[in-house]
Every structure is written in structure tokens, then in C-alpha cells.
Structure 1
Amino acid sequence: MTAEAPPGGALIVFAREPVPGQVKTRLIPALGAAGATRLYRHLLDIALRAAGATPTASRRLWCAGAPPDGGRCARLAHQHGLTWRHQPAGDLGARMAAALTATLAENDRAILIGSDCPDYSPDYLTAAFAALERCDAVLGPAADGGYVLIGLRRPAPELFAGIHWSTGTVLEETRTALQRLGLTWTELPTLRDLDRPDDLADFPHLLNTYRRLD
């Protein structure tokens, strides 16, 4: 099935400045700090390429840990046709809520993705925008119990409160919150993300490419 993205939507990519020791820290025991950073840059490139190839009104990279001038994040955003902003302070939920609220003040739909999933594609992101034509929200479940994508038609900061981030209960807690708030939603096919050393077993080509050399 091919979905056609409606005009007017905005796509948000959440990322972190790719500095050794500050990205993919849970993979450092398996890959080393340099290898984990190289892998993160690869994953971020996948997300940005998919974003850049998705037909939508605007594309934005919200970066954490970047210097005032935006650093590498700003350069990557420019390279892939995205604008960029600094992520605000707060936990992951507060930062996502802020980004979506700000974006939905200017757009009728907003999709937010991270930079940990090797399987993002323009078709997947386009399907998310199409889903928001008939539902209040859309989720892209992750195989580990989280999600790789969330989209909304209107701000819902309560949706991100009280979630136990970086655990296997994130998706189920979010479903419960959506139901509690009376929001309709649909879910896309489940994708895998890459956060922990165990996840590398699903991506042997990446393990072989980025394994630590020391």
C-alpha cells in the first residue's frame, strides 16, 4: 500500500551532537566510544536521508548537546535540507512535548522520529502523515517496547508525562495515556532500534563495521 502525505505537515528529527562519549553510551562496551559515535553518525544519516526524501511542508532537526552555532548537527541539517533548533532542557518527554507543541503552532500535523533506527524510510514516514488524516495520533512501535515515531494533529503535552523512558513499557504506557486523553490513534509496522549491545545481534553488518578495534 502506498500512502500519500498531505501538505502542511512537519517532520521533526530528534538527535544529539555526535561527540564521542556522549552518544550511544550503552554501546561503548561493545564498540568503544569512537565506534559507537561512528555508528550513531550512520544511524543519524539514515534518519536525515529519510526525512529529506519525505514530501512534507517542513523538516526540522532538534539537536541536544550542540554548541551555540549548532556544530555538526547544523551542518548535517543544512546538508539534508532541514532547519535546526536546540532541544530545550528537561527529560525526553518534556523535550518531545515542547518540540511538538512548537511545531503544531505552525503546522496542522507533526511527526517526530529519533536517530536510533536503521529501518526508517520515506515510505514509512509518508504513511505516518497519511495516518494523521484519520486519527489524532500515530505511533511507530519499536521491537523493544518503545516507539521509533510519534505523530500528532494537536498538542498533547500530557501524553509525555509520567512515562518511564528508556524502558520496555514506554509503548504500553503511551497507549494507556492516549486512551485516557480520549485520542484516537493508529500504529505503523514495528521497527527495530539500536540502543543496547544485545541489539547488535540483529544487525551483524553494523557490528562488523563499527566494532571496537582496541
Structure 2
Amino acid sequence: MCVPVMSYSILDPATPDSKRASQCALAVMAKAPRPGRVKTRLSPPLTGEQAAAINVCFLRDTTENIAALGARCSSVGVVSYTPVSDEALFDNLLPRGFALIPQRGDGFGERLMATAEDILACGYGSVCLIDSDSPTVPAVAFEQAVAALQREGDRVVLGPSHDGGYYLIGLKRAHSGLFTDITWSTASVFSETVSAAKTAGIEVVLLPLWYDIDDHETLELLKAELLHGTAPSFTSVSGYDAVHTRDYLYELNRTSGDCP
């Protein structure tokens, strides 16, 4: 039986829509899910195909979490993707109503800044840039981010990660100072970003501490949370029930003979 293909609209910063001004765009930063190109630090213990498959699960869970939020507050889901021209690889992976926007720029900071600029240019009142490696981020964290950005006045919202980075940065204006001179992929990203915001006189709102999955150690943390109900020791907030990721982890354990 043929499965209908669900493709998604592509946002164009050159055609802004004033009707979006009251909305916060929750934009997931994502690579097209090609084996050998995504979650490579999880291989080993996973194969390249398994790493790509779990990447898809992360994306599905994160976007479904965001889609459910849209019914409770004024937010919309977006995926900022790379490489350009691989948008078809997202067909049928995202909830209905999501839009795509291609990434531009060379380094990670450039791509974050460009995505913020492009989404705000589309007419949205605010934007949250969200990593695609944290499928159990509590829904309340996204709700808090949207609520903070809907208040009067300028501010930056940050969701700190346990490794010293952040899983979310929310903005009403694309402040370039938050993305330049940051030592990316280090344990100082969060602290450097907070310092940059304070230097620029921008209010900082913090979300609950969470974690992203990018190596064997954090994969085990994820397994403990989803398969055994053991919450991370550094938080008292309940994580999102990432059913796609949980089911895939269970299947991996079953086929390896290590059932929970």
C-alpha cells in the first residue's frame, strides 16, 4: 500500500507575513538524516545506520513535543535544515503544519545567527533555536521560553545543557554578539553566551537544566531515563515521554539480548 507523502512548506525571508507577529517560531536545528552524516559520535556503540535511525527518533519526538505546545500557546514549529536541497529527506517525519527553512553560513555560530535572522525576517515575533539532540526536554521548558518572549521588552532565553552548552536559545532580535567569539563545542558555550548577553545589557531568562545526547555516556543517561524511569540526577523536572526514541532503544536492547 502506498503511503501518502507529507512534504512541508519552505519559509522565505523575502516574503514576510505580518500575521506571524504574535507567534514564536520553535525552530529545531537539524541535519538531513543520512547514515554517516548524523550522530557520528554515537558510532560506536551504534552503527552508522542505527545512529541515523535514532536521529530520526530524536527529531520526531522533539517536533511532536513542539507541535503539542502549539495548541496551548502562540507558537509554530519549524525545522532549520542542512544541507540545502535535502528537504525531501524530512518528508513524513514532521507533524502536520511544520515548515522548513534552509540553513546558511559556514560555522555553527554563523548558522545559528543566520537562522534567527531569517526566521525573524519571515515576520515571527520571536524565535527559539533548539537542538535536535535532546528528545526528552520537558514541555514546560518550551512553554516557559514562549511565555518569556511574549512579554514586553527585549531578552534572551537560554536552556542550559549539563555539558556546558545550551539546548535552546530564544530571541526577539538577532543579536550578533550572542553568536560571535563563542568557543563552540566546548563546556564554556553557555557561560560565554550569558557573559555576552550581560555585556550587551540584555536580560537573560534561564530554563531548566537538561542534557543532550552526543556520546556513549549521555546515551546511557537517556536509556536510564526512558527505559528504567530513572530521571537525571541534576533535575527535579519530569522529562518529555519521547515514545519514538524509547521504542527504538527498547528494540536495540531486545535485539542485543539486553532487555530492560
- Verify same fold: TM over 0.5: yes
Aligned in 2, Cα 1:193/1:57: closer, same or farther, shift over 3 Å?
Answer: closer
Q: Distance between the aligned counterparts of 2:91 and 2:201, measured in 1?
A: 37
Q: Percent identity?
A: 32
Aligned pair count?
206
Cα deviations by residue, 1:106-165 (Å, 9 ceiling, x for unpaired): 122111111100213433211101122265110001111110010011110221011121
1:177 and 2:192 aligned:
no
1:136 and 2:152 aligned:
no
Spell out structure 1 runs of 4+ moving beyond 3 A: 205-213
Match of 2:178 in 1: 159
Cα deviations by residue, 1:16-58 (Å, 9 ceiling, x for unpaired): 1000000001111111111111111111111111121122343
Does the aligned pair in 1 maintain the 2:32–2:86 contact within 8 Å?
no
**Superposed, which structure 2 residues align to 1:96-111 within 5 Å?**
96-105=112-121, 106-111=123-128
Partner-residue secondary structure (3-state), 1:112: strand
Shift of 1:76: 2.6
Does the aligned pair in 2 maintain the 1:101–1:157 contact within 8 Å?
no
Which of 107, 124, 130 is matched with 1:91 structurally?
107
Instruction: Extract unaligned runs of 5+ from structure 1.
Output: 1-5
Q: Distance between the aligned counterparts of 1:146 and 1:210, measured in 2?
A: 28
Match of 1:3 in 2: none
Partner-residue secondary structure (3-state), 1:168: coil
Shift of 1:74: 4.5
Q: Distance between the aligned counterparts of 1:80 and 1:10, measured in 2?
A: 15
Shift of 1:15: 0.6
TM-score by length of 2: 0.73
Task: Name the aligned partner's letter for residue 87 of structure 2.
Answer: G
Q: Distance between the aligned counterparts of 1:118 and 1:21, measured in 2?
A: 20
1:60 and 2:78 aligned:
yes
Which of 105, 111, 122 is matched with 2:139 structurally?
122
Aligned in 2, Cα 1:118/1:58: closer, same or farther, shift over 3 Å?
Answer: closer
Does the aligned pair in 2 maintain the 1:48–1:80 contact within 8 Å?
no
Partner-residue secondary structure (3-state), 2:164: coil
Aligned in 2, Cα 1:75/1:173: closer, same or farther, shift over 3 Å?
Answer: same
Shift of 1:97: 0.5
Match of 2:34 in 1: 19
Q: Distance between the aligned counterparts of 2:119 and 2:135, measured in 1?
A: 25
Q: Distance between the aligned counterparts of 2:33 and 2:204, measured in 1?
A: 33
Task: Name the aligned partner's letter for residue 181 of structure 2.
Answer: G
Which of 26, 31, 40 is matched with 2:46 structurally?
31
Match of 1:44 in 2: 59
RMSD (Å) for aligned C-alpha atoms: 2.1
- Structure of larger gyration radius: 2
Shift of 1:180: 1.3
Match of 2:209 in 1: 190
Identify the structure with bigger relative contact order (alpha carbons < 8 Å, sequence gap 6+). 1
Aligned in 2, Cα 1:69/1:186: closer, same or farther, shift over 3 Å?
Answer: closer
TM-score by length of 1: 0.87
Task: Name the aligned partner's letter for residue 169 of structure 2.
Answer: I
Instruction: Extract unaligned runs of 5+ from structure 2.
Output: 1-20, 228-245
